[in-house]
Amino acid sequence: MQKSNKSIAGYHLLMILSSVDGEFAPEEGMLIQQYLADEFPFRMNLDNELETLALLRPEEWKDHFEFHARCFQDDSTEEERKKFAQFAKSLIKADHVVTDEEHTFYKLLKNIWHLE
């Protein structure tokens, strides 16, 4: 898999976090749109990224998530990772239900980044 830059890696992380519970809630979609607007001030074609994510089987999510967490880590400061983790937390809480799967992936992210 080709290394992703911080913004693309963040997109992959958020999309997986929003999908692991088997439901993509509208509230989650709104937060991902906010992330895209903040990270990509110019229109960006993410069709290839979305296709990659759509083709993943659930049993591949964890490896894909870990890979992109490391890509994000390579291109970010500790402060950026803390800020992203807070954003990711708001994403998994957006539909007012945090499933075990969402919590597991969120904890995985924090563990990879050595955040408390």
The predicted-structure confidence for 73-113, as pLDDT tens digits, reads as follows: 999 999 999 999 999 999 999 999 999 999 999 999 999 99
pTM for this predicted structure: 0.93
Q: Count of domains in the chain? A: 1
Asked if residues 18 and 81 have their Cβ atoms less than 8 Å apart, the reply is no
Q: Which domain holds residue 42?
A: 6-112
In a domain, 1, yes or no: no
Looking at residue 67, its pLDDT comes to 98
Output the domain CATH number for residue 38.
1.10.3680
Q: What is the pLDDT of residues 15-73, one digit of tens each?
A: 999 999 888 888 999 999 999 999 887 777 889 998 999 999 999 999 999 999 999 99
In a domain, 97, yes or no: yes
Q: Does residue 98 lie in a domain region?
A: yes
- Give CA–CA dist 94/68, Å, rounded: 22
